Amino acid sequence: MAVPADPRADYDVFDDPYCYKGTNVLKNIPGLRDPAALEAFEIASVAQRADEPLPDGRLSAAHYRAVHHHLFQDVFRWAGRLRRVRVSKAGSVFCYPENIAAELKRLFLALRQERYLRGLTPDDFAVRAAHFLADLNAVHPFREGNGRAQMAFMALLARQAQQPFDLERLDPDRFLAAMIRSFAADEEPLARELRGLID
């Protein structure tokens, strides 16, 4: 399964123990210190892992963490672990680390109560999936790779709900714009983008 790469926008981070001292380069398994080399390695590694079967699970928070671990296991030792620092991006502040576990629990309980969005029309699925994805993005539980883990997980969710995605149709710029709008509580563009991915 192809997982679109995250747009390379810088995060604003405070006291970041994830980076090599004096840099904004994330500590990584091969020890790369050059940002471009790390980016190239990360893209290649994640693409290779995305072509493999994703972990089985119950569409839970633990399953979501397993998906992130699977995708980033060759890049970061903390793959699949919840971040411990505060982050923001382009002025948007994501969930504080001390609240991430509780927010994930709430979010995935709501997904289970909605029967994992099964039995919906494609339009209704897109609306409910957009709401779930917007909330998941606001939690932003990992230090890096949230977008790719989100889309891999959403593809699993869509397939199990019998609304399979065709990720080849995803327009990265338009999708990113819709994600940004969803952060400001406007989920309609994101629902349109997700509806466009359904076969």
pLDDT of res. 199? 80
User: Which CATH number covers residue 28?
Assistant: 1.10.3290.10
pLDDT of res. 1? 59
Residue 3 in domain? no
pLDDT of res. 50? 96
Helices and strands, number each (H, E), in the chain: 7, 3
Residue 43 in domain? yes
Segments of the chain scoring below 70 in pLDDT: 1-15
Q: Could you list the residue range(s) of the whole structural domain that residue 99 is in?
A: 12-197
Residue 7 in domain? no
pTM: predicted TM-score of the whole model, two decimal places: 0.91
Q: What is the count of structural domains for the chain?
A: 1
pLDDT of res. 90? 83
Residue 84 in domain? yes
pLDDT of res. 27? 98
- Tokens 């892992």 sit at which residue? 49
Long-range CB contacts for residues 29-34, cutoff 8 Å, separation at least 24: 29/74, 29/75, 29/76, 29/77
What does the mean pLDDT of the chain come to?
93
Residue 160 in domain? yes
CA of 172: how far to CAs of 12, 49, 118, 179, 196, in Å? 22, 20, 26, 10, 13
Residue 1 in domain? no
User: Tens digits of per-residue pLDDT, 63-108?
Assistant: 999 999 999 999 999 999 999 999 998 888 999 999 999 999 999 9
